[in-house]
Structure 1
Amino acid sequence: MKSLVFIVAGYLLAHSALALDVGLTPNRDYVDVQHNGKSIRLQRIQDQEHALTGSFAKTSRSCPPFCIQPIQVAPGVTTVGEVEIFEFMENQLRDGSGLLIDARLPSWHQKGTIPGSINIPFTVFEKSDLDPELVSTFKQLGVTERQEEPGLVEKLLAGGDVNETWDFSNAKELILWCNGPWCGQSPRAIRGLLKHGYPPEKINYYRDGMQMWQILGLLTVQ
């Protein structure tokens, strides 16, 4: 019996020693997320003396173009924070029903991105319906081109408002982000998506972006 007590005590001691001093939330130390086919463990920097340096430590940029963005980027679009992203990673991103989109230009994306993100620059969503790059991107988002006009039943189910170019019935839920509250790239991407008819209830906006992600000491990948 004593040996069993020692084994259990040792197990609990070992696991308590593995607990992080700087967790993500009170009940979550890390999130495992797939990035480019590899499993990445997302957690915060454990050095509590760490301070941000580099371009994301800047507090001021010329406006325009780097103007402060509103909390609600468009009607029907939900603004989310980091905790909601963790939950999204563990659910929609894991089961394939959602995508985390880095809407910045490739030059920014290559410097570092949020794990699990794919890079689709905002400029893609500003292209015309017939543009091959937009068509290819929409397929990635679960959106298909209509081969025929929507039927009466579909119009009735949608309350009469049905996009005649795109079929959004299997569209993925999205979180779009860019460099921070002063960055207009993801808001432009969201407005482009809405212009094409993407359902606003399937779009989320991470306004804090890369600047706040790094201020919180969260992992980035290149």
Structure 2
Amino acid sequence: MTQRATSKILLALVAAFALPLGASATENKIARNLESVEVMHDGKPVTVYRGHDRDAKLPEIFQKTDRGCPPFCVQPIIIADGVETIGELELLGYLKRMAQGEDDLMVIDSRTPDWVMRGTIPGSVNIPWNKINRETAGTFETPSEADSFHHILEDELGVDKKPDGAGWDFSRAKTLVLFCNGIWCPQSSMNIHTLIGIGYPVHKLKWYRGGMQDWVSVGLTIVKP
């Protein structure tokens, strides 16, 4: 056997062991047994998968590491007792269930529209954090802000006013998954605290702590308005 033939065999063996059994050089699954997930966004099907560009980089807007705290402080892993913190696979599970017709679920992008225009998670709905967040005193600054919040509760989140008008009935409230820009972003966490403050059941609140920065860091599909 010539030296050239021996080298070719060695290179082939190295390539074979460098990839999992049955994998190809372009394969990039979401998880070992998960190729992609079909979701619905604005009434249209979208396939969520991981990109196949091994040289891809984070978008420039997510490359900064020093953003200043406050307000951009690192968020705790547990945002409130009883509120489940989830990751990408769990979020994909909720999006899949929504696409299959479960209408008591909602994934909320809590960021302002200027951020959403740069890309969001397919299947999410934008409700900007300042449409839900209250000031530190526990109230909205103007009656119109309070009215807007009440409309969101009733028209989008499935919350009903109690018959006597005193408080809210959460028996038909949707399970919400909230996210924003990442572990340094306080917007979704403030919304969660506001919702808990008015009585929203904690078991109906989920928090995707990693947010957009984690989502794009693993190459998952985004959509732009």
TM-score class, shorter-chain normalisation, is: 0.7 to 0.9
Q: Which deviations, in whole Å up to 9, do the C-alpha atoms of 1:41-83 show, x marking residues without a partner?
A: 1111111221224011222211111110000011111000001
Q: What does residue 138 of structure 1 align with?
A: 153
Percent identical among aligned pairs is 40
CA distance in 2, matches of 1:32, 1:167: 33
Residue 141 of structure 1 and its aligned partner are, at CA, apart by 0.8
Kindly indicate whether residue 115 of structure 2 is the aligned counterpart of residue 108 of structure 1: yes
- C-alpha contact 2:39 2:98 (8 A) present in aligned 1: no
Preserved CA contact (<8 Å) 2:41 2:124? yes
Cα distance, 1:93 vs structure 2: 5.5
Aligned twin of 1:199: 201
Q: Are the structure 2 counterparts of residues 218 and 89 from structure 1 closer, same or farther at C-alpha, using a change threshold of 3 Å?
A: same
2:149 alignment partner AA:
L
Name the residue aligned to 1:59: 65
Within the candidate set 187, 190, 194, 1:188 is matched to 190
Counterpart residue number, 1:84: 90
Equivalent runs, 1:1-222 vs 2, <5 Å = 21-92=27-98, 94=100, 95-127=102-134, 131-139=146-154, 140-148=156-164, 164-222=166-224
TM superposition score normalised by structure 2: 0.80
Distance 1:59 1:43 in 2: 26
Structure 2 unaligned segments of length 5 or more: list them. Answer: 1-21
Q: Distance in 1 between matches of 2:118 and 2:59?
A: 14
CA RMSD of aligned residues (A): 2.2
Secondary structure of the residue that 1:181 maps to in structure 2?
coil
Give 2:87's aligned amino acid.
G
Cα 1:219–1:133 shift into 2, 3 Å: same
Offset at 1:25? 1.3
The answer to whether the Cα contact below 8 Å between 1:92 and 1:173 also exists between their aligned partners in 2 is: no
8 A contact 2:37–2:92 mirrored in 1? yes
8 Å CA contact retained: 1:176, 1:186: yes
CA distance in 2, matches of 1:90, 1:122: 24
- Counterpart AA for 1:182: W
2-structure distance, mates of 1:60, 1:35: 33
Question: What does the per-residue CA deviation read over 1:175-210, in whole Å, with 9 as the maximum and x for residues that have no partner?
Answer: 100000000000011011111111011000111001
1:82-136 Cα distance to aligned partner (Å, 9 max, x none): 0101111112464112000001112211221100010111222235597221122
Q: Distance in 2 between matches of 1:177 and 1:125?
A: 13
Distance in 2 (CA, whole Å) between partners of 1:126 and 1:211 is: 22
In structure 2, C-alpha distance between the alignment counterparts of 1:126 and 1:146, rounded to whole Å: 22
Q: Which runs of 5+ in 1 are unaligned?
A: 1-15, 150-163
Moved over 4 A (4+): 127-130
Number of aligned residue pairs: give it: 193
Q: Secondary structure at the match of 2:192?
A: helix
